[in-house]
Structure 1
Amino acid sequence: MHNIQPNLNKTYLKAASAKGVYIYDENGKAYLDGSSGAVTCSLGHSHEKLLPFIKKQLDKLQFVYRSQFASEEAEQLATRLYELSPDKSLTHSFFVNSGTEAIETAMKIAIQYWQENGKPEKTHFTTRKKSYHGITMGALSLSGHALRRQRFEAMLEKYPALSADLENDSLEDQVAEFEKAIDTIGPSKIAAFVAEPMVGAAGTALAPVNEYYACFKAVCDKHEILFIADEVMTGLGRTGTWFGMEHWGTQADIVAVGKSLGAGYAPIAATLMTDKVLAPIKKGSGLIMSGHTYSGHPLSCATALKVLDIVEEDDLLDNVIKKGAYIKSALYDLQKKYPVMQIVRGKGLMMGFELDPAIKGMQAKLIEHCYQNGLLIYPAVGGKEGTDENGVLISPPFTINKSETDELLGKLEQSLKECS
């Protein structure tokens, strides 16, 4: 085989087609997409409103290079993201191809913001130990995901990571740890604090208390530190609001979005920012030093705008909230029946549970049993140190209906029973 898959020693079945919440393999077997791929396919597969639109766009405009032309598609998408952002605070968009690139761009913009403001020494970042921001060297440097860092540790920047427990340590202790980290590095050297509203792959839908982000943003403002929200997984409806930060009533200076932006139909992500962030760059050098060949791709931008239209027109955020509450309640019921499920958490259709870390290999075993039973789920890490391979994310498409939700839960219970 010439195509490289993640596990070089595994023979993968080929996907042959997909429709709604189902993917069909080359033998015709159906798999319920209980994780939206990598928490991506918010509209499911082969959506009846989206496919004709994409085909029509192909006849109009496919690609222009962003240094040569603007496009109406990119401008319309940027306008819609501004309109959807909390209090219309995110006034500008920089389009890229993946969530990792959006984080890399956010880092560059934060550093450039301080350069343009006459503070070029502000090049460091603070983040959390339980975090994952992407697989490139810059984004991985921000990440505390030990399993994904370990091979490249010698090449990564060693940014101080906050280790306080979001669920079990007091807010006062968490803020105190943040203040101490700032004092240790020196506020004059820190460009930004970076955090996922809810920790996905590195924390299994882990979320802080209600006052957390307001307190941390206040600390950032006090020390002239930007706040970057990594909404690649939580953004654009996944948690039941357009932006995950809305649950905490706090606005970030820079926001990275991806995954649900293109919903799996087109590779696209974006770095969004406030007027405050862009103004000194526009007034100064007048150029953001970032970008990629396919940045602002018209076909991807048009597709993403149509995705947002469909989410709005079909009132899918309401379905996310209702089906999410239904799944969470069912997961609590399963937890009572299967002690191997130790923690259940999540918001909207970003649900997760942690398995007993003392039972080695249980995560892989459960994922395989689900696969054999026609259910796709997504692995995450958990545990006190964020190093236990014991987490599972349940994040089906926003379009999932009641019978499909019951089927998902039934296949999950069947798999848990087989593993117990």
Structure 2
Amino acid sequence: MLMCGPTHVFTVLLALANACLRVGHWPKHFKESMLIIIPKPNKPSYSAPKAFRPIVLLNTVGKLIEKMLSNRIQFDSIASDVFHPNQIGGIHQQFTENAGLILTHMVHTGWAKRFKTSIIAFDVAQFFLSLNHEVLMAILQKLGFSDNVVKFFSHYLADVGVGQGGALSLVLSALYLTLIMRLFELDPLTHGPYGVIFELFKKFGLALENVKSEVFHFDQSHSKDNPPVNLGYAPYTGTTPLKPKPYWRYLGFYFDCKLTFTEHVRYYSTKALSTIKAMKMLASSTRVTYGFRLWYIAAARCKGALHHLSVMQHSAALWTTGKVTTPDTELYGIRSAIVNATSRDNCMDIFIFTDSMASACQAVDPSIHSGQGHSVAVFEAVQTWFTHKDSQSIIF
């Protein structure tokens, strides 16, 4: 069936997806899976189940239909304003930066009114596995989904759970939290609202993992007051309250109390510098060509070895030049090698391994290069190489 052509495949998949929704049925073989257990890296002990990550392999056709249904439900939910405006996770065209922007906007708005803003971040234990199917069906009905859709998801979730990473899992989890999100507009942070949220999640079949809760205070004044918070739930009670840290890491952002983002920029600058140093180390290494004189002989049959070098050079050229297309990768690889060699005083010879002599000719012969930007750039690099050095050579 899949070999009959794209149009035919699309028609069959669309008909199958519509039939599943119309009848309210999800075929059994789409639920069948193969489970692979992979240990999580850098765990101190692997005696607990949480130290392993289960990977579920599902039927590919079923996954395609799930993606189609997910896109459609996303579209209808957004068009009908089903999701809460502040809901970011699991929704198309919403990014982590949007959540960061909403948070910083709320803090600045509070400061303009001479308020201080405090945040409590909490984690839901085993979120996807804890989604209650009966509650989810009730939520879908409450949000106005048709009986066919509710019947389909009731059969879709029969004998299985909401799998983490599935195409439908994100939209289902977002719909599950929609009603809770509309109850989140509570009073300023105190002991009471956290208890309300804790009990509310509990009624929805979800448990807050208190040990992972975090508190942070945003204050633009010069006050050093950074009080701990009594959540009223172990381990953060009156004798052992939850203490805020100097910086708060959230969704990859590093917040400080005055929103200067100094720590955030320092962290990512250091991370980028480490990457640059690693690239410099790789650029200075001749490891890939170590021993090439032993096997690279004009009459030798070394096509297989050259293929490995070509694949490596292809990937390296894409990384170092920032290219995302492949037709001119050979030329950019040649240019990068020449520019790197020109900057080194002790480099007199360049050896370029290529399985495309057309690219080599384009690189060195101005009469046949295409005139495109990448061809001209390579030719200019070659001119610079021969202008700045004596007795130098390029061997393809």
Q: TM-score of the superposition, structure 2-length normalised?
A: 0.20
- Point out which structure has higher relative CO (alpha carbons under 8 A, 6+ apart): 1
Structure with the higher fraction of residues in strand conformation: 1
Q: Greater Rg, structure 1 or structure 2?
A: 2
